[in-house]
Amino acid sequence: MENKSEKSIKLVKRLVREHVRPYFGKLLLAAICMAIVAAATATNAWLMQPVLDEVFLNKNAELLLLVPIAVMTIAIVKGVASYGESIYMEYSGERIISDVRYRLFSHLMRADLNFFHKNSSGKLISRFTFDVGLLRASVSTALTGIAKDSMTLIFLIALMFYQDWFLAIIAFFVFPAAVLPILYIGRRIRKISTSTQNEIGSFASLLSQIFQSARYVKAYTMQKYEKRRAKKIVDDLFKLIYKSVRVRSRTRPILESLGGIAIALVIFYGGSKVISGATTPGTFFSFITALLMAYQPLKRLANFNVNIQDGLAAADRIFQLLDQKPGITDSPDARAYIHKKGEVEFKKVKFTYGSKTSHALNEIDLKIPGGKTVALVGKTGAGKSTILNLIPRFYDIKSGQILLDKKNLKNYKIQSIREKIALVSQEVTLFDDTIRSNIAYGKPDCTEKELYEAAKKADAHEFITSFKSGYRSLVGEHGIQLSGGQRQKIAIARAILKDAPILLLDEATSSLDTDSEKDIQKSLKKLMKNKTTLVIAHRLSTILDADLIYVIDNGKVLEKGNHKALMKNKGLYSKLYRLQFAGQKSSKNKIVNLEDYIDKKI
């Protein structure tokens, strides 16, 4: 098993290989600028020698003019080089972070639906915000500082050895003693940082849940409970952050003490050499100046190790996410699906969610003829939604086959299948954008005429134009600015606009009132004409004209046939139909939802 140091080296190499390498050119220019800045800093320290020895002691008037000119020239060169170093490093650092962030987003766009079910949105968002932020601090700040301060140290130490090599050895003899405790502190910070990032992910997840479910929190008066949950996470975060501060601060007394010892030894030994005449005051003060200048970057380098450990912990988590490969991918020989009839057939299909032992679908057989409308009815958990979700390959089956136009679904490229499918779910998903953008989501290059026609067919045009901004009105997060029925109509308009040959309708009119439902049913019938349509139905009134109806129970087909055939069979469907529509005459016995009845009787 690799140790922490080996893992850190691998992370750095991978970061350089995958994200830093494209910017080597600009980083080289930044390094040149840094070298100029470092050389200018060392030159300023060296100038102390002629200032003291020649100007003040020997009273050299010519040097009195030249030294200030040299100082000004060095300052200008250093300023310009500092500007170049800052521009090139900041550009490279920010581009590296932007590339990481975009790569992470692109990777998640390829992730399976099951991945998002297993990982909360809050924790995923924390990768983009907190983790990438820590990585940014390491790449843009720490690495820049390390390069800059390291070069400054090299030039200053070189000057110190040039002035007095023995004195330089004395000055730096004590600093290696600080290496081990600083490395230990860095490892502690890495561990604390990982725990902190996990807690921040949990907190982001909690916030996301509470803000989206504010209505239920208030309805059930659970504000105190949620505040207790938040307080626990906030307190845990405080403890971790405070612990990190305490551990980080331990570098200060170590370096201050060692720095004091080094300077004291230099003053004592160097001062005695000046008194004895073995060296000049200018040489000694030039050495002291270089030592004091070197002390600050040396302290920063020690602190940078801590920041680097934060960044490496974040990089580790980001790469763990990037290394998760989607389970549902195109086969090597997959080809684009070209729509013919749109016939879908399930043959002995078995499917299980996650680690569950019971099958959601158990060797199910059913066919959805091309251009026909097929309805699924059954109790909650019977397998209806599972059947629907398997057609666009949101999940892959355990065994059996799903055929699309007589060919195995896995023989087609996933994107080409989904391009031919329109989905309207009972749980409407709208984006925090304009009404126009939400309708045009599946066909962003549509014309205004096509957009308006789709909205009219979905019975949405009238209420949209009643808004002040019309189609440019913002719907809010999850469509919060609209009513449930309005959200459903926009979702239906989106499907109508896409005009896909295969329609998946998961109780698409469930949020509409009776009058609106009738209008939408008329529009849907026009849309469904000559299209392969799968409908998950709870209200029997919505599926009376279906070409084929399957009654699903425990992942198997209990009954199948059209409405008339199922009524003649006098099975479960017939009983449910008579009870539901007879119940309309008596409010006491009324059952308007098929699932409610099946859940009680089966």
Mean pLDDT of the chain: 80
DSSP per residue, 17-76? IIIIGGGHHHHHHHHHHHHHHHHHHHHHHHTHHHIIIIIIIS--HHHHHHHHHHHHHHHH
pLDDT of residue 162: 83
Q: Set out the domains of the chain in order of their start, with CATH numbers.
A: 10-322 (1.20.1560.10), 344-420+500-601 (3.40.50.300)
DSSP per residue, 478-511? GGTTS-HHHHHHHHHHHHHHHT-SEEEEESTTTT
CA gap 122, 127 in Å, rounded: 9
- pLDDT band at residue 564, thresholds of 50, 70 and 90? confident
CA gap 317, 332 in Å, rounded: 30
pLDDT of residue 411: 92
Q: Which range (160-169, 269-278, 361-370, 580-589) has the least confidence?
A: 580-589
pLDDT of residue 34: 87
pTM: 0.74
Mean pLDDT score, 390-394: 92
Say which residue the tokens 């005429």 belong to.
449
pLDDT of residue 256: 66
- Of 348, 353, 352, give the one whose Cα is nearest residue 363: 348
CA gap 317, 15 in Å, rounded: 13
Q: Please say if the pLDDT value at position 501 is more than 70.
A: yes
Q: Please say if the pLDDT value at position 150 is more than 70.
A: yes
Type of residue found at 2: E
CA gap 370, 550 in Å, rounded: 16
CA gap 189, 247 in Å, rounded: 7
Alpha-carbon torsion (231, 232, 236, 242), positive or negative: positive
- pLDDT band at residue 141, thresholds of 50, 70 and 90? low
pLDDT of residue 533: 92
Q: Which residues, other chains included, contact 157 with Cβ-Cβ below 8 Å and sequence gap of 6+? A: 168, 172, 290, 294
CA gap 541, 560 in Å, rounded: 17
Mean pLDDT score, 18-24: 87
pLDDT of residue 391: 93
**Residues comprising the chain, all counted:** 602
Q: What is the pLDDT of residues 234-265, one digit of tens each?
A: 888 788 777 777 776 666 676 667 667 777 77
Residues above pLDDT 70, as percent of the chain: 82
Give the best-scoring range by mean pLDDT among 151-165, 279-293, 442-456: 442-456
Radius of gyration of the chain from its Cα atoms, rounded to whole angstroms:
36
Pairing of strands 532-536, 548-553: unpaired
The residue with greater pLDDT, 197 or 292, is 292
Sheet holding 532-536, edge to edge: 421-424, 502-506, 532-536, 373-378, 548-553, 556-561
- pLDDT band at residue 110, thresholds of 50, 70 and 90? confident
From residue 431, alpha-carbon distances to 428, 479, 480 in Å are 10, 7, 10
**Contact status, residue 33 vs residue 27, Cβ threshold 8 Å:** no
Give the three-class secondary structure for 403: strand
Q: What is the pLDDT of residues 173-198, one digit of tens each?
A: 655 555 556 656 666 666 676 677 66
Structure-token pair, residue 200 = 């921040």
